[in-house]
Structure 1
Amino acid sequence: MLNKGLPAACLMLILFLFAMAHGVKGDVSFSVLEEMKRGYVIGNIGKDLGLNVKELSARKARIDAEGNRKGFCNINLGTGELTVAEIMDRESLCREKLSCVLKFELVLENPLELHKITLHIQDVNDNSPIFPKEVIKLEIRESAIKGARFRMSGARDPDTGQNAVQNYMLERNDHFVLAVSSNKDGRKNLELVLDKELDREQQQEITLILTAVDGGIPPRSGSVQIHVTILDANDNAPEFTQEVYRATLPENSPVGTLVLKVSATDSDEGINGEVTYEFSQVSTLAEQAFTLDSKTGEIKVNGPIDFEEESVYEIQVEGKDGFGLSSDTKVIIELTDVNDNIPEIFLKSLNSHIPENALPGTEIGIINVQDRDLESNGEVLCVIGSNVPFKLVPSIKKYYSLITTGELDREVKSDYNITITATDQGSPSLASSKTVYLIVADVNDNPPAFRQQSYSAHITENNKPGSSIFSVSATDPDWRQNGTVNYALYPGDVDGTPVSSLLSINGDTGAILAVRSFDYEKLKSFKVQVIARDNGSPPLSSNVTVSVSVADENDNAPQILYPAPEGKSLMTEMVPKAVQANSLVSKVIAVDGDSGQNSWLSYHILKATDAGLFTIGTHSGEIRTQRDISENDGMKQNLIVSVKDNGQPPLSATCTVYLLISDNLAEIPELKDMSQGTGSKLTTYLIIALVSVSIFFLTFVIIILAVKFCHRRKPRLLFDGAVAIPSAYLPPNYADVDGTGTLRSVRSAYNYDAYLTTGSRTSDFKFVRSYNDGTLPADLTLRKTSSQDPFGPCDETDSSQVK
C-alpha cells in the first residue's frame, strides 16, 4: 500500500468533482493513483451515467481502450464499478509528461452507445532521483576566483509534480557551495560556486557528495560523487552556436540517419579549447533512439523510432572543454507521421448463426476499425464484398454495424464467408482484411414437394392383400427434422368404401400397399390423396393425387345372352325355304365381363344337324346359310355353338340354336297340335303372328327388288334375320357395364320387334332386324363392315333403317 498525504487526497477530490461535472454530458472522468492493485475500485460508472445494473448486463457493457493499449480497467456488471485490471505505472505509460491521461470507451449494445471515460493516473513517489553519471568529474584551474561557477547536470526523477526533484544538498566543505536556480521551463540549474580560492599545491583533488531530494512523502533522494581536479587556469567555457536546436525527422528513418549537428566553440587554446559533446539529460527512450558523436556533435538515429510511441524528443547536450568548463544546449527532435500502420479490424460482437427468416436490416455484428496513424493516414474506409446480402453501416466514430440487406434462404446458400477490408487514406494506402464466417440457420419454410403433380398406379385384380402397388416420394430442402417427410392417406371414401379399407401407406417410405384383393368387374379405378408432412414446428404439408387402375384378368367366362339357356325358354328361329346362300338366319349374342382381349369373343359351331348347311361368323356370331335350302333338307335344324374369349387361358360357353325351315306355321306339326289344345286365344295370337310375318316378308321382298334395281343385276332373295333380345334375358351383373366387355355394343346394335309363341308355350321364335352384318372389331364395338354389305356402295343407309 502507498501512503497518501493530504495534498494528494485534495487533488483526488478535485478530480472527482471534475469527473462528476463532465458526467452530465455523457462522458465521465476518474482519477486513480498509479501502482494500485488489481481489483481496486476506481468508481461506479453505472451510477455516474445513470445506468442500472440490469441494463449494463443486458446491453453487454464493456470497456474498450483506444488504440492498442492494454485493458487497464474492467467493469463489474454486477455492481457497475470500474476496477483496476492491470497495474498502471505512470512513468511507463506517460514518461515525463506532467499529465498522464488514459482514455477508454464504455460500449453498450442494442442500441449501440458509447461513453468516453477519461482516467487520470496520479503520480506516486515511487522513484528516487537519479543523476546521469555515477561520478561528476570537474577540472578547475587554481586561478579560478571566488564566486566562479561550474555548471553540473541535475538529477532526473521520473515522477512529476511534487514528487519530482525539489532540492539539492551539497556535502559541507571548505571551498564550494551549491547554487540552485530555475530556468524558464521550470528545470533546475545546478552550479558549483567557488567560495574559497583553490591552491593546487596544497590540494590537487577534492571529492564532494551531491544529494538530490524529491518532494514526496516520505521524500526520496539520490546522490552522486563530485570529483574535482585542480588544474591550471582555464577561464573560457564552450559556447554553442544556438540555444535550441530543432530537427524534423520521418518516423521510418533508418538507423544511421543524420538528425542534426550541434556545435560549440571555446576561445581558449590547446587542450583548453578542445570541446567534447555528451548527453547531459536524456530520457531512456531518447537514449535508445539516438546517438551523439562526442567529437563532431552529430546526432544520428540509433534505433527504431515510432511516431505513435513518441512524437517529440527533448535532449540536453553538454559541450565541455579539456579542463572541465562546459555549457549546454537543448535539442528538440520532432517526428513526422508516416503511413506505416496497417488498419486493424476488431470484431466486437457477432451473431454467427442467423435465422433465414431474419428481416432485412437486422444487426448481426459490430466491427471496430483502428489505425494508429494520424490525419489521412489514420482515416479508414471499411467495406465488404458486393455479392453478399450484407453491408456495413457506419455507426459511431470508428464503429460499423454489420446488417442484412436482403432475404436469406438456407436452401439456396447455407453459409457465407464475408471478407471485411479496411483501407486507410494514406499514400500509398495500407489495407487489411478479416474474414467472418456466418451460418444461415434453418427455418421450416418449405413444404414437402412431390416429384410429380400426380401419379398413376396399376394393380392386377385378384391381388394378394398386402401387396405393393406403388411408391410416392416427396423431398423437403429444409434441414433435419424440418426436412424429414412422413406420408399418410387423406381420409375419405371410394363409392362409400373408406380409403383405409382399400389401401395403406408406409409413413416413412411412401410405399402404397393393397389392404384387400380387388375385383376389376366391381372397381376398375379410383383416386386417393397422399399427404406428405414434415416434422417442423409448425409442420408443413402438401398432397398429391394417385390414380389407381385395376387391370383385368380373364376370370369371367363368356355369358350367352341369346339364345337363352335351356331350361328357361326354348328359342326357335323360323327360316323361309326360299332363303338363298349367305343369308342371315340367326345370331348368337354373348358378352364377357372382362375387358380388352379377355373380352374378345369368337364363335364356333361344335355340332350341327346338317354340317354343310349353316356357318357362323367367327367374330360376329351371325348364322348364315352356306347354300340354298333344298326340299331334301330337314325341317328341324339344331346347332351347338361354342363361344370362347381371347384370354390366357381362354374360357368358353356353349348354347343350342334351334332352327325351323318353313314358310307357313301351319306346316309345323307341333304348331297344329298346339293350336288344337290352346283354343281360340292361341288362334288369335297365331293370326296376329302370321299377319306380322306376311307384312315383314312383303317389306323384305320390296327391299330386295330395290337393291337389285340399284345394282342393275339379277335380283336375289336375301333374308336377314337376327335375334331380338328381350331385357328379361340380360343378366343383372351385366346391366351397368360401361364401356367394357361386349354388352354396350350388343344393346346398341339391335332393335326388338315381335314375339311368337309355339304351342308348347316353352319356346319362342321371333323375327328381328339386324343393324350390323359385320364382325366384332378389336375395339369391342360392333360396326358395319363394307365387305359384308350385300347392298353394295349405292345404298348409303344402314339396312336396319328400312321398314
Structure 2
Amino acid sequence: MRDCLIMDDHLVRKTQNMLCLSFIIFLGELSGGRTVSFAGLPGTGNVSENAPRGTVVYTFTVNLTPNISVQTDYPTIINSNPITKAFAINSDPSLLYKVVTTGDLNLDYETMPPRFELQILVYDTAGAKDLQILTVQLLDENEPPVFQGNIATQTVEVYILESTPSRLIYEVNVNDPEIATSTEIMYSLTPESLPFNISTTGTIYSLKEFDYEKDPHSYILNITARDSLGLSTSRIVIVSIINTNDERPYFTMEKRVFSIPEESTPGYVVVANITVEDPDGEGFIHSRRFSINNPKAFPNFAIDPVYGTVLVAKRIDCDASPFKEERNISLILHVVDSPSGTQSDTTEIIITIEDVNDNPPECNLYNYRLVIAETAPPGSVVLNLKNSCHDIDAESPNNLFNFTELSGVGSSKFSQDPPGSGEIKLTGTVDLENGTLEEYTLNIVVQDIVPPYYAKNIYIYVKIQPVNEFDPVFSSPSYVFNVSETTASGSSIGNVYATDKDIPFTGITYSILAGGGTNDITEIFWIDPAKGSVNIVAKLDYDKTETPMYFTVQASDNEHKTAIASVTVNVLAANDEPPICLPNSYLLEVPVDQTAGTNIADFAIRCTDLDSSPRSFLYSINSGNINNHFTFSPSAGSNVSRLLLASPFDYEGGLDQIWEYRLLIFVTDNNLPTTNIQTGTVTLTIKVIPNPTTVVPTTPGITLVTSRENVYSALAWYVPFIISLGGLLLLGLLGYLLYFLAKYVRTHCPPKPKADKKPLKIKIMLHFSPIEKKKPKKEVVWEMTNINTVFDGEARDPVTGKWYEYNSKSGARRWKDKNMPSNLEAKAPVAQVAALEKTSDSSQGNLSRTEGKTSGGKLGEPNQKTPKPLEKKTDQNSNQQKPKEGSLGL
C-alpha cells in the first residue's frame, strides 16, 4: 500500500490514491464496522510565498465513532507531491486540525513549485483508518529590491586617505525578481549635503579631496534602492577619512638638565615625561616612538619608546668608569611620529650624577691569624690595619673611616695605640708557664665616619707560640730494677719517668744512651720511646750474666733538650733448670713371682740439676702404676733412687690383668722456698714374665696357643746369643739343647698371637694344681667346642652404672640382660670332657677365670681385634649352644 502512495506521475497517483482510499475504507469496514473519516478533506488551501513559520494553510476535522479516539501522532502527512517538509499538522483536543507552515523551507514562488499535494492519514484506537488529499497552492507576492553582497547583511565601512583625489569609493549591487532588468531600479543618497554622489547604476563617488586636520573624520551615507512598483530598501555606508603622516613632530619641554644620586637602581625615573607636539593631530600620539641616539656610550640609561620616560637601565657607580671620570652625561633624544620614521626630531638633555657614601671600607683581609712568641715583650706591634684598608668612595668625607676599640677574648692583653689608628700592640705578658691562654680572639670594626656609617668586622686570631725554655728532668737520677732470671723475653722490668716544665707539653722521647749489653748480646734492654718502659729482649741467665748490669737512659724533648739517668739491673737467681735423669727411658723385665720390696732388675736412676741440691729431688710415678705395684726408694732427698716392687702381682686372684706396664716418672727439684718448681721425666716399660705354669688369660676359660715369629728388641741380647751358641753345638746334642731353649723362651718371652687366615684349632691345657706354686700333677690337652660359665652373682658397675653378672670363683663377668630376672642361675656347662682323670673346683676355676676385659681391655668394652671363627670338634652327644648377648670376654 505504501508503494501506491508515492508514485511520481500525477494522474497515476490520483488513481492509486482512490484505490488506496477505497482499500483503507474496506479495511475499516472489516474491523467490526467501526470507521474514522475526515470532514473537509479532500480540499484545497492557499499560502503566500515567504509566509512565516506557523502560518495556517488549511483546517479540517475528523469524524469518530463514539468512545473511540485518534491514535497519538495522527493525523499525519505521510507523503507529498512534490516531496517537501514545508508543512505540518497541529493537533487540537476538539478534533480541529490545522495544516501550517514549518519554516524549515523558505516558500519562494520564484524557486519552488506553485502547487503541493499532501496525503494525510488518520488512525483511531480501534484500528480504523482514513486517507485524504490536501492540495496547497503557493501564491506570488510583490517584493522590494534586495541588496546583494556584504551590504545585504552588515553595515559597510569605506576608508579614504586624506589628500586622496575624487574617485569611486564603493559600488552597490541590488536584485529584484519582479522586474526584468536592474535598470528599472532607482538609487538615492541622503543627506544630499555630503560631498558624495551615487550614479544610476549604484556607484558611489567622492566629490572632494579631504583634509584630516580640517574636515570631519567620518561620514554616514544612507543608500536607498527603489523598484518600478514603488517598493524600496535602504542600507548604511560609513566613509572614514584616514589621517596620513604629513607633519613633523617637535619637542616642547623646557627643562633640559637633570640630576640623580649615585647607586640609583634600574627603573629609577630620570625624566618623567618628554613632551612632544605633532601637527598631524592626536591620532599620531600613540604612534610616536622615542629612542636615545648614543646608547652605546651610556648603556646605563634607557627611554620608554612609547611614552618617552627616561629611566636608569643599569647600576650607576660614581666610583667606577665611566662615571668616575665624567659626572655630567649628555643624552641625545630622538622621536619619530610613526614606526616608519618619516618625520622626526632630536633634542639634548644633561644628567648629573651625585656621589653618595655607598661603599663600606674595604680591607685586604677580614680574618688575621697571628703567631707571637710567649717571650714577646709588652709594647710589641702585633698588626697595623691602617695600611690594609681603604674606601673607594670618590669624594671626601665619603671615603674616610676609623677603627673601634678591641673586644673579645684577650682584649686586655692588646690595645690600639693611638686609639682608632688600627695599630695593635701587646700590652701584657703572654708567658704560657704563668697560666696565660694559648689563643686569643680579638674583634675590631672598621667604620665610615659619615652616614650611613658602613662597617665591617675584622677578626684577629692570635696564637701564642711556645718557646722551649726548660730541659727535661728525670724523677730520679738513678733507677734500680731487680729481675728474675726466669723473666720471659719481651717482659717489662720497670719504668723511668721524666717531666718538662714547658707548656704546652710536647712530649718526651726516651732512649738508651749507653750500656745494657753482654759479650754475647750487645743489646739486652729496650726502652719504649714514648712511655719509658724498660723491657728485656733476651732471657737473662744468672749463671752466665755478670750482675748487676748498668746502662744510661736519656730523655729529650722535641727541640733536643736532654736529661740523663743511670739504671742498675740486678739479675736474681731462680730455679729455672729441670732435673736431668739417666737413663730417661728404659725397658725392664720382672718375674711374676718377684718378692715385694726388692729392687727390680737392680734398676736405679741418677739425676742432676744445675741450680738445685741433690737433696731437693722428689720422685713420683705420675701414670701407669696400676694397682700401685711399683715405687722408688728413696722417694726424696737423693739424686739416686731405685725402683722397688711395692706389692706382689696377683693374676690368679684376678687383681692384675695386664702384663706390661708403662710408667711416667716425675722428678721435681722442689727447691724451697722457691715456688718455681722444675720437673724432669723418665719413662719405664716393665714387662711381667709369667711362670711356666701361669695361665695368661685371653678369653674366659680357654687358653689360646698360637705360633708367631719372634721380633726381638735390641735389649733381648740373650736370644741371638743362645741361638748362636746352639749352632756351634754338636748335632748329636741339638735335640737336648732345643728342649731347654724352648722351655726358657716359653717361660720368659711368651709369644704374641700371630694373625692367621685359617681357622685355629683350640687346645685347652688344664692345670690341676692348687693355689700354691707347685708342679702340676698332670697336664691333659683336649679339644672342646663350647664352654658356658655359670654366673652366680650380680653387681653395679661404678663407672657406667650398669648391672653385670659375675662368677664368684673365676671372676668372669658379663653385662646383665635387662630382660632377665635377678638372681638367675646360669645353666650348667654342656660340654662333656673326656679322659678327665680328676676334676676339682680349683681346676675348673683355672679354666674359666677371666676378667671383664679380654687382652687388657676394660670392662664391657669389645676386643680391639675380633678373632675369626674357630674350628670346634665335639662329640655326637654334646650340645651346641651360642653364648648369650651381653656376656663379657666370651
Larger Rg: 1 or 2? 2
- TM-score, length of structure 2 as denominator length: 0.25
Higher relative contact order (CA 8 A, sep 6+): 1
